Amino acid sequence: EPEVTQTPSHQVTQMGQEVILRCVPISNHLYFYWYRQILGQKVEFLVSFYNNEISEKSEIFDDQFSVERPDGSNFTLKIRSTKLEDSAMYFCASMPRRDNEQFFGPGTRLTVL
């Protein structure tokens, strides 16, 4: 069964460094999302992406964040200059069409030291 994949599973970085989290959504899905979950808290929406552009973003998704779908298969989240409070699990999700379930990847645990 097709699934969303994410790499790496765990990333450790120093404060101020740039990180790129990678996701491969399910083939033929049209809508793509990033979420984060700080340890012990709820899952929070960051950004949605459709037709090669951002369709919606939350207050969390500030200028330090960017997303790309560079080659039709990968979907990346870049954090330009990481802060301690960026430490969280980051989930990628994809959806085949409107009004359908979002399929989540296994997540990348980001630790900022």
Residues forming the site for other proteins (CB under 8 A): 31, 33, 35, 41-48, 50, 55-56, 58, 89, 91, 93, 95, 98-99, 101-104, 106-107, 109
Q: What are phi and psi of 86, to 5 degrees?
A: -80, -10
- Give the Cα separation of 31 and 95 in Å (integer): 5
Closest CB to other proteins among residues 1, 14: 1
Closest CB to other proteins among residues 14, 97: 97
Comparing CA positions, the residue from 48, 49, 40, 47 lying closest to residue 87 is: 40
Closest CB to other proteins among residues 58, 76: 58
Distance of closest approach, residue 41 Cβ to other proteins, in angstroms: 8
Distance of closest approach, residue 73 Cβ to other proteins, in angstroms: 20
Distance of closest approach, residue 43 Cβ to other proteins, in angstroms: 5
Burial class (CB in 10 A: 0-12, 13-18, 19+), 83: exposed
Q: Which two tokens stand for residue 47?
A: 């950004």
